Structure 1
Amino acid sequence: MAAERLQFHEMGLDDRLLKAVADLGWSQPTLIQEKAIPLALEGKDLLARARTGSGKTAAYAVPVIQRILTSKQSVREQDVRALILVPTKELGQQVQAMIRQLTAFCSRDVRVADISGKADLSAQRPILMEKPDVIVGTPSRVLAHLNAQNLLLHSSLEMLVVDEADLLFSFGFEADLKNLLCHLPKIYQSFLMSATLTEDVQALKELLLHNPVILKLQGSQLPDSNQLQQYSIKCEEEDKFLLIYTLLRLQLVQGKTLVFVGAVERSYRLKLFLEQFGIPACVLNSELPVHSRCHIITQFNQGFYDYIIATDEQSLANPTAAPQAAAGKGKKKKNSERGGKNKDKEFGVSRGVDFQNVSNVVNFDFPVTVESYIHRVGRTARADNLGTALSFIAHTELGLLSEVEEALTGENSESVLKPYEFKMEEIEGFRYRCRDAMRSVTKQAVREARLKEIKQELLNSEKLKTYFDDNPRDLQLLRHDKDLHPAVVKPHLKNVPEYLVPETLRGTVNPLSGRRKRKKMDKPQPEGVMKSSFKKNIRGRNPLRSFRYSGGRSGNRRGKTGKS
C-alpha cells in the first residue's frame, strides 16, 4: 500500500517559510525533501544520496532555516548557527540564492553570506563581523577565515551541511576539511548530501555524523527511459566534428544543449569550428573569473545561447587524464599539465551549476569515469522534464563505455545506452565542408580566441578599473594592441545546399526553409519602394539574354551621354 505523500504544511514549518515555498511554486515536496526535512527537524544527522536535480538543496535548506527561526524565539544574540560547505564557487552562489528565496519573508531573522568567491579575505571580513546566521563557502575559504580569526564557530555553530560530499575529495579538499573540523564545537547536527556514496563519502561519514539516518532514495542514479533517453554512436575524431555539425545545423538536436569535451583548448576548437557554419555557442572556461562564468550561465538560462561547450570537474582534478582518454590523441603530458595550471580547482560544470531547462547533453568526448558520466547527463531530465543524452564513442573510449553500461545496467539485461541509428554515409556530402572549416581552426586561431576572451576580461574588470584610471596609457595600449587573427569565417559555409541534405532528412529541413521563405514574402515593403521584378525575371527567363540595347536616346534620360 502506497502511503499518502507528506505535504509542506504538515511538517510544522514557520508560516513565512511556507509562504516562500508557495511563491516558488512548489506544490508538494520531492521524495528527498519529504523524507529528509522531518528527520532533520527532529535533530537527526543525515546521510542522503539522491540524484542530481532531485531537490537536495531545499532538503537541507528548509530545516536549517526552520531551526534558526525556532532558536531566535528564545535566543536574541546574533551569531553564526549554520555552515554549508560546497565544492565550487558556482554551487556556493546557487545555494545562497536558494536560501534567500526561502527567507524572502524572514530575511531580517535569517541572514546568509556566501564567502566562496575569490575576493580578498580582508574584503570579506566586514561581512563576517556582522555574524550572518548562515555561511556558505568552500572548505579552503572557510578555513582561511578561521585561521585569520575573521570567523569563530567553536561556540555558536549548531548545524553543518556538506553538499556534493563526494566532489570535495576529488577537488583535493580532504586536508582542509579535516583541519576545519578542529574549529567546530563538539556537538552539532550534520547533513551529508551526495549524488554517489563513494568510499571517500563513507570515510567522511565516520568523521562528521553520529548515528545518522541513511537515505538511499533512488535505485538508479539517473531517471528511467521514460524521462531520459540515452544513446551512443561510434565515431572517430573527424566524424565527431562531422556529426555535431550535422546534428546542430540541420536542427536534429533541438532545445538547450550542453556539449561536454575533454579539455578547455578543445572547447575553443569546437566553438570556432561551429562558428564557421554560423552556429553560435559559448565556452564555459574555468580560467575565467567566477562572475564571468555565472554571467554566461545566466545568458544560457535566459535563452541568449542554445549551446554551451564545457569541460567537467574530472579534467580539472586530473588535467592529463581527460584529453588523453577522451580525445584519444595521446597528446604530450607536459602540454596537458600546462593547460591545467591556471584552472580554478573550485570550478565544476557537470555539477554545482544551476543550468535550467537543458533538453540535451552531448558527450563530444566521453567522460573518463562513471561518476562523471552520471553528473554530466544529470544536467538534463531534471525534476519532471524530459531529456536526451548522446555520447560520441571513439575506439579508444570503448572501455569507458563498457564501464558506464555495466554500472547503469545493473540487474537489467537490456543496455541503458541505445545505439543511435544514424547512417554516417548519408552525410558524406558534408565532409568536405567540415574539412574546409577545420583548416581555418588552427592552433593559432584557438590560442588567439582564448587570448581575446582574457583581454576582454581585463578591460571589463572592476578590480583593474582603478589601476586603469591611474594609468590610462596602459588601458590605451591594451585597447589598441595588435589585432588578433582568429579563425577566418567563410560565408558560404553558413548555407546548406538542399542537394547535400540526405533524402531521409529533407522532410526535417525543408519545413524550416519554407517558413523562412514565407516570412520574407510576407514582410511588408516600406512606403515609396517599388517591388523589384528581378525575381520574376529569374523564374521566367534570363534577364541578360533578353536585354536589348536601345541606343543613345535611352541614355539621354540618365545623363548627357548615350554611351553604353
Structure 2
Amino acid sequence: MGYVHPTLVQEQSIPLILSGKDVLIKARTGSGKTVAYAIPTLQKLLSITNTTDGIKAVILVPSKELCVQTYECFRSLSRYCSNVINVVSLHLSSADQQKGYLNEYTDVVISTPKMLLNHLKLYSDNILKNIHTFIVDEADLLLSYGYKEDMNKVVERIPATCQNIILSATLNEEVSLLKQKLLHNCVTVKLEEENTSERNDLNEFFIEVSEEKKALLLYALLRLHILKGKVIIFVDSLNFGYFLSIFLERFSMKSVVLNNELPALSRNNIIHQFNRGMYDYLIATDEGLAQSIPENSEKEENGGNSGTNAKEDAELLGDSENEKDEDSEIEKDVDSEIEKDDSDDFDLEDSSEPEKETEETQNDEYNVSRGIDFENVAAVINYSMPASVSHYVHRIGRTARAGNLGTPLSFIVPTSDKDQRILAEIQKYNPPRDGHPVPQRLPFDISQIESFSYRVEGVKRGITPNLIRNTRMMQLRKEALNSSKLKMHFEDNPHELELLQHGLSKQLVRPIAYLRDIPDYLIPDALKPKSNPEEAKRGHEEDEKNKEWKRKRVADPLHVAIKGRNNL
C-alpha cells in the first residue's frame, strides 16, 4: 500500500488498541485514523485461537461512501489473509446477501448505524454476542446528523466485555456523552497536530464578496488559474450545485456534481473519477438537499447588466431557448411509473424496512465532508458557508491530506449574519497564526475582475430552472439504464426502456466556443503573467536582427533586379 512510516496518530494509537484498552482518539481528518484502527483490529483477529462463528468486529461510519472507503482499506490490508478474515460492508450487498453474511462467517462488519440497526431488528440481536471490537468513526458527525437515537440503540446491544474505540475530529458535548456510555477506563489520544492553525500545509483564507458577485469571483479564481489543481466546491443545495456545474461547463471547465440521489456505488465511482483526474472540479453539499435555487439567485438569472455585450447576450439567450425546447421534449418522455422504479433502484437498503426512511436520514448517509478520501485536492472552496465549526473542520479536511499542501477558501457575504457568526466562531476555535486570525482575510479587489461581468451574467441568465431540473433527470435516467436491478424489468417492459433511452444522445449542456478563450484586454494587469526580462531582451535582439536582415535584403541589387523583372 506504499506505507513507509506510520503517521503520528497511527504511531500513538496502534499500541494502545493492541493492548485491549478502550481508546478515544481525537485527530484531524486525513491523518490516517482508518489505518490506525484497521491494523490492530486485523491483528487481533489473526491472533484469536477461538474460532467461533459470528461477527467479531463492528465499525460504524456516517456515510455509505465512507463504508466503501473503509471496506477497501480493510481489504487492502488483509490481502494476504483474506482466506482467514472475511470483511463485509452492508452497503455493498443486497438484502439477501446481507442476511447470509450476518449469520455465518463474517468477521468484520462495516455499516452506518441505521443499516446495522435495521438488521438487528429484522434478524437477531444475537449476531453481536461474539464481537470483541466496536469502533465508532467520525463520532462527532455521526451524532450531529440525526444518528443519536440509532447510536443509543446499537450501544445497548454491545457486550460489556467488548473493546470500544471512538474516533473524532472534534470533541463536543455529544461525543463526551457517548464516551461516558461506551468507554470504560479509556485512554485518550489527543494530537496537537489536529489544530489547523499550527499546520504549515493548510493555509485558510476568506474573501468578502456579495451574493451577486460570487459566481464572478469563482470564474476568475478558476479560469485565470489563481487556484490551480483539483478543487472541491461546497454549496448548500443540490439544485445550486447543478447550477454551478452548468455554469462552469459553459466556460469549458469540466466539473461533476456528487448527487445524493444516486446510489452509493455510483457516487463512489464519481469520487474515483475525480481522484483519477477526469474532472478538475467536484461540486458537493454536506447538509443534504435544501430548497431549489434561492429567490435571489432567480433574480440574478432574470436581472439585467448594464455592462453586458448585446451580441453575446443574444447568442446566450438563443442557445438557452433551444435547450428549453429540447428539455421540454425530454421531460414529456419520462413516465411517472418509470421514475418510481428508478427511485426504488437507487435505495440500496432493505426494501422491507419497517420504518420509512426520512429525507433527513437519507441525507445523513450521504455527506461528502465525512472522511471521504479525496486524492491531491489543492483547494476547498466554501461557496456557501457551513452550518457549524465542526462542519467547517470536516470540509477543509478534504485538502492538505497525507502531507500535501492545501488551501481552504471561504466566500463570506458581508451582510449575512450567518456568515459573520460562523466566521467568528471558526476564528475563535483556531488560535491566531503569526498574529493573524485563522482563517485570514485575503485581499482581493473585485473591481479588478469586473471586465468579466458581462460574460458571467450572460451565462447565468441562460441557466434556467428547467435546464437544471432536466440535467438532474438526465443523470438519473443514465443511472437507471446502467442498473443491474432494473435490467430484468426492462427486458419485460421494453417500451419503458425506449422511453428512458429517448433523448439521451442529446447534450443538454454544451460549452460556448467563444467563451473558452479570454482576450488579453480583459485580463487585469495585476493578473497577467509577468514577462521574463532575459526573454524580453532576447526577443528584442531577434527583432533587431530581423530588421537588419530586411534592410540588407531590400538593398540587395540582385533582389531588386529579380523583383523588377517579376513586375514586368
- 1:52 paired residue among 17, 29, 42: 29
Do the aligned residues in 1 keep the contact of 2:273 with 2:279 (CA within 8 Å)?
Answer: yes
CA distance in 1, matches of 2:408, 2:450: 24
Give the match for residue 388 of structure 2: 369
The reply to whether residue 456 of structure 1 matches residue 478 of structure 2 is yes
- How far apart are residue 229 of structure 1 and its match? 1.0
- 1:36 paired residue among 13, 22, 28: 13
For 1:47-68, what per-residue CA distance to the aligned partner results, in whole angstroms no more than 9, with x for missing partners? 1100001111111111111111
The aligned runs of 1:159-558 (5 Å cut-off) are: 159-218=133-192, 220-222=194-196, 224=198, 226-312=200-286, 314-315=287-288, 319=290, 344-395=363-414, 396=416, 397-409=419-431, 413-480=435-502, 486=508, 489-507=511-529
CA distance in 1, matches of 2:149, 2:296: 29
CA distance in 2, matches of 1:326, 1:201: 38
Give the match for residue 58 of structure 2: 83
- Normalised by the length of structure 2, the TM-score is 0.78
- How far apart are residue 77 of structure 1 and its match? 3.1
Structure 2 SS opposite 1:245:
helix
In structure 1, give the amino acid aligned to 2:143: F
Q: Which has the higher helix share?
A: 2
CA distance in 2, matches of 1:327, 1:32: 44
- How far apart are residue 76 of structure 1 and its match? 2.9
- How far apart are residue 246 of structure 1 and its match? 1.1
| Unaligned ranges ≥5, structure 1 | 1-23, 330-338, 515-564
Structure 1 SS opposite 2:192:
coil
Question: Structure 1 residues 400, 484: closer, same or farther in 2, change over 3 A?
Answer: farther
Structure 2 SS opposite 1:229:
coil
Do the aligned residues in 2 keep the contact of 1:448 with 1:484 (CA within 8 Å)?
Answer: no
CA distance in 1, matches of 2:129, 2:361: 38
Question: Structure 1 residues 131, 54: closer, same or farther in 2, change over 3 A?
Answer: same
Do the aligned residues in 2 keep the contact of 1:110 with 1:133 (CA within 8 Å)?
Answer: yes
When the two chains are superposed, the root-mean-square deviation of aligned CA atoms in Å is 2.7
CA distance in 2, matches of 1:86, 1:147: 19
Do the aligned residues in 2 keep the contact of 1:90 with 1:352 (CA within 8 Å)?
Answer: no
- How far apart are residue 466 of structure 1 and its match? 0.7
- How far apart are residue 461 of structure 1 and its match? 1.3
Question: Structure 1 residues 223, 413: closer, same or farther in 2, change over 3 A?
Answer: closer
- How far apart are residue 171 of structure 1 and its match? 2.4
For 1:135-154, what per-residue CA distance to the aligned partner results, in whole angstroms no more than 9, with x for missing partners? 11111111111222267334
Do the aligned residues in 2 keep the contact of 1:153 with 1:184 (CA within 8 Å)?
Answer: no
- How far apart are residue 375 of structure 1 and its match? 0.8
Question: Structure 1 residues 387, 27: closer, same or farther in 2, change over 3 A?
Answer: same
CA distance in 2, matches of 1:186, 1:326: 54
The reply to whether residue 138 of structure 1 matches residue 112 of structure 2 is yes
Question: Structure 1 residues 375, 276: closer, same or farther in 2, change over 3 A?
Answer: same
Question: Structure 1 residues 401, 371: closer, same or farther in 2, change over 3 A?
Answer: same
Do the aligned residues in 2 keep the contact of 1:164 with 1:194 (CA within 8 Å)?
Answer: yes
For 1:11-47, what per-residue CA distance to the aligned partner results, in whole angstroms no more than 9, with x for missing partners? xxxxxxxxxxxxx222221111111111111110001
In structure 2, give the amino acid aligned to 1:305: Y
In structure 1, give the amino acid aligned to 2:248: L
Aligned-pair identity in percent equals 40
For 1:335-365, what per-residue CA distance to the aligned partner results, in whole angstroms no more than 9, with x for missing partners? xxxx967953301101231211111111111
| Unaligned ranges ≥5, structure 2 | 300-357, 536-568
CA distance in 1, matches of 2:466, 2:361: 19
Number of residue pairs the alignment of both structures matches: 472
CA distance in 2, matches of 1:360, 1:209: 37
Question: Relative to structure 2, which stretch is displaced further, 174-183 or 359-368?
Answer: 174-183
- How far apart are residue 487 of structure 1 and its match? 5.3
- How far apart are residue 182 of structure 1 and its match? 3.3
For 1:471-504, what per-residue CA distance to the aligned partner results, in whole angstroms no more than 9, with x for missing partners? 1111012222699784565322222111111112
Greater length-normalized contact order (CA 8 Å, ≥ 6 residues apart): 2
Do the aligned residues in 2 keep the contact of 1:445 with 1:485 (CA within 8 Å)?
Answer: no
Do the aligned residues in 2 keep the contact of 1:441 with 1:487 (CA within 8 Å)?
Answer: no
CA distance in 2, matches of 1:219, 1:281: 32
CA distance in 1, matches of 2:171, 2:431: 18
Question: Structure 1 residues 46, 444: closer, same or farther in 2, change over 3 A?
Answer: same
Do the aligned residues in 2 keep the contact of 1:282 with 1:307 (CA within 8 Å)?
Answer: yes
Do the aligned residues in 2 keep the contact of 1:442 with 1:487 (CA within 8 Å)?
Answer: no
For 1:528-557, what per-residue CA distance to the aligned partner results, in whole angstroms no more than 9, with x for missing partners? xxxxxxxxxxxxxxxxxxxxxxxxxxxxxx
CA distance in 2, matches of 1:200, 1:448: 41
- Normalised by the length of structure 1, the TM-score is 0.79
Question: Structure 1 residues 234, 193: closer, same or farther in 2, change over 3 A?
Answer: same
In structure 2, give the amino acid aligned to 1:44: K
Question: Structure 1 residues 227, 446: closer, same or farther in 2, change over 3 A?
Answer: same
Question: Structure 1 residues 483, 41: closer, same or farther in 2, change over 3 A?
Answer: closer
Question: Structure 1 residues 184, 381: closer, same or farther in 2, change over 3 A?
Answer: same
Give the match for residue 527 of structure 1: none
Question: Structure 1 residues 200, 172: closer, same or farther in 2, change over 3 A?
Answer: same
Do the aligned residues in 2 keep the contact of 1:326 with 1:366 (CA within 8 Å)?
Answer: no
Do the aligned residues in 1 keep the contact of 2:275 with 2:374 (CA within 8 Å)?
Answer: yes
- How far apart are residue 216 of structure 1 and its match? 1.0
